Structure 1
Amino acid sequence: MSITPRLLAIHAHPDDECISTGGVLADTVARGYHAKVLTCTDGRRGEIVDPTMDAQAVAPILHEVRERELANAMEILGGVDYELLGYHDSGMVGDDGNNDPDTFWQANVDEAVRRVVAVIRDYQPAVVILYDPWGGYGHPDHIQAHRVGTLAVEAAAVSALYPEAGPAWNVPKTYQTAFTKRRVADLNAQLIARGLSTPFGEETNPDNIVSGVYDHQVTTRIDVRNYLKTKLAALKAHKTQVHDTSHFFNFPPDLEEMFYGYETFRLVRANHFPTTEESDIFEQLDTY
């Protein structure tokens, strides 16, 4: 069976797609393959960090602004398709927004899964990228994106489930993002040694880094250094969320490459699991 190389990356908010998958998305399109981002929320509870914006005026229409930013970022990455799942941003842990019935965190899981199943069956991706169970760092929308996305990948393959969502589609390969604790610890150590401030605190022991995974959990490491400028330009398109003065745009060049130049994942669902570390998420598709 010939599988069309299509990538579906499921993310929580506009801008998340650039941080952990921007390079892979750009590479997918550059190779002549298909790439799509499914964004679960509209980001309406995000901060507005751009000092050139009138935050009071932008806040009521932030969801509209962030969709335009997402569209611009996808164009910068080479013409990646995108779709919004239709939920409100839930805000950070403990925010009042967590209790808003229109948020993703409060969504009926069955209904949310049905929506994602419909996207998967229509798009028929060869590869789906999700978050890990903690959503990378514990944000409610990231955790919900993991739950809903994981259930939807399984349900999409079963024709008896959500038959109204289209013919069943079995996703050949499913990954979780896997940013490593060691990368954060090593970056901290380098910044501290150079007398520079770090956005991640001053912990240099990977065992004490709360977020992320250990290196041995990574199955797939993608070199995206050729797309580094493109990835950062796409991230900067999310102007309400990031600014040129951010730590994340002001690392020394070698540390910028270390932090952004590789995207790491854990293969969690496949017919064939590699015995060595992968360097391409589309490896072995011809065996499905």
Structure 2
Amino acid sequence: MSAAPGLLAIHAHPDDEVIGTGGVLARAAAEGRRVKVLTCTDGKRGEIVGEGMDEEEIRPRLAEVRAEEIANALSILEGPGSIEHEFLGYADSDMMGRDGNYDPANFWQADMHEAVGKVVRVIREFRPSVVVTYDAFGGYGHPDHIQAHRVTVLACEAAGMKVMYPEAGAPWRTPKLYLTAFPKSRIAEANQMFIDRGLPSPFGEYTDPDEIPMGTPDDLITTRVDVTPHIEVKRDALHAHVSQIAPDSFFMNVPDDMMEGFYGHESFVRRWSEVGTPDGVEDDLFAGL
């Protein structure tokens, strides 16, 4: 096992690294751990909603713009520590049924053997103790998120097998793999708070967790990490993704007294662990390492 346990977060687009894991990335960097973000696509088919941004002017170079934005976001998250970054090299897959979803250069259309091999190389070179990616639904059904889940889980398995992708380096078995999660109870609580204040919620108006179509059932949550000290850093890093965050965005307008409740913890489902895990919900991705 590595002498310095590291965290590898595998995400679909620039900005996803902040939304789903900004707190744990900042926390790991602040603890002096090795941290790396692997972004699977260039995000070139994302919406352009930044204040004052012209669609016709920005669209042809959106991939370049988003590369600059993620560089800025990670520089904020890393603080005095360090966060490495790499693009996997695929185009944004757009949404299901749209023309961009059929582009042979996009991640959704990628050859699975090739894509897994690329991630295996990253895993074997970085040798993380913890890998984090999405659940099988990709959180909300985006094809790039779903593909990131598929490719990451297969790559984590293959990376530990000597006979698989021998050209990608020496085998490395990642001790712990986690899937990002957003507890249904937190969505319900957030919705109720927004309703009470007369504010719109991005999650609809459901206040019964059993009726909420997205999110993770609470009884499946294995890990809940306190990232309260890094709330402001996470929010500042999210703001660095200028093209993706509209002035009236929910993320830009969470009331100050709701920040801790909404951003103070990040939750995960532990897919596997080859080290001992505590009884009940653990509070650290690196527990047992």
User: What range is the shorter-chain TM-score in?
Assistant: over 0.9
1:41 aligns with 2:41: yes
Residue 238 of structure 2 aligns with an amino acid whose one-letter code is: L
Task: Look up the SS of the partner of 1:169 in the other structure.
Answer: coil
Distance 2:69 2:198 in 1: 34
Runs of 4+ more than 3 Å apart: none
The two structures have a TM-score, normalised by structure 1, of 0.96
2-structure distance, mates of 1:212, 1:196: 21
Q: Distance in 2 between matches of 1:123 and 1:256?
A: 33
- RMSD, aligned CA: 1.1
Match of 2:265 in 1: 262
List aligned pairs for 1:176-195, cutoff 5 A.
176-195=179-198
Distance 1:128 1:274 in 2: 19
CA distance in 1, matches of 2:143, 2:124: 26
Q: How does 1:12-91 map to 2 (within 5 A)?
A: 12-78=12-78, 79-91=82-94
Amino acid at match of 1:9: A
Q: What is aligned with 1:284?
A: 288
* Contact residue 277 and residue 287 of structure 2 kept, 8 A: no
CA distance in 2, matches of 1:256, 1:91: 30
Structure 2 counterpart SS, 1:240: helix
Q: CA deviation at 1:184?
A: 0.9
Flag structure 2 segments of 5+ consecutive residues without an equivalent: none
TM-score relative to the length of structure 2: 0.96
Q: Give the secondary structure class of the aligned counterpart of 2:199.
A: coil
> By how many angstroms is 1:80 displaced?
1.4
1:123 equivalent to 2:123? Answer no
User: Is 2:279 the partner of 1:275?
Assistant: yes
What SS class does the counterpart of residue 9 from structure 1 fall into?
strand
Q: 5+ unaligned residues in a row in structure 1: which ranges?
A: none
Q: 1:136 maps to what in 2?
A: 139
Report if aligned partners of 1:267, 1:273 keep a CA contact under 8 Å in 2. no
d(CA) in 1 for partners of 2:31, 2:259: 24
Letter matched to residue 283 of structure 1? A
Paired residues of 2:277 and 2:288 also in contact (CA < 8 A): no
Q: Which residue of 2 aligns with 1:200?
A: 203
Q: Give the Å deviation of 1:2.
A: 5.4
Cα distance in 2, alignment partners of residues 199 and 2 from structure 1: 41
Amino acid of the structure 2 residue aligned with 1:64 = E
How do 1:80-119 residues align onto structure 2 when only pairs under 5 Å count? 80-119=83-122
CA–CA separation in structure 2 for the residues paired with 1:259 and 1:10: 23
CA contact (8 A) 2:2 2:128 kept: no
| Alignment partners' CA distance in 2, 1:230 and 1:243 | 19
What's the CA shift for 1:245? Answer: 2.5
Task: State how far apart, in whole Å, the 2-side matches of 1:69 and 1:259 are.
Answer: 24
Contact persistence 2:72–2:240 (CA under 8 A):
yes
Q: CA deviation at 1:51?
A: 2.7
- How far, CA to CA, are the matches of 1:71 and 1:251 in structure 2? 24
SS across alignment from 2:242:
coil
SS of alignment partner, residue 59 of structure 2? helix
Q: Secondary structure at the match of 1:184?
A: helix
Identity level (%): 54
> Is 252-261 or 23-32 further displaced after alignment?
252-261
Describe the SS at the equivalent of 2:244: coil
| 1:161 matched residue in structure 2 | 164
Task: Report the Cα distance in structure 2 between the residues aligned to 1:215 and 1:12, rounded to whole angstroms.
Answer: 24
Count of aligned pairs: 285
Q: What is the deviation of 1:276?
A: 1.9
- Residue 218 of structure 1 aligns with which residue? 221
What's the secondary structure of 2:65's corresponding residue?
Answer: helix
- Give 1:270 shift: 1.0
1:173 maps to a residue whose letter is K
> Match of 2:198, as an amino acid?
G
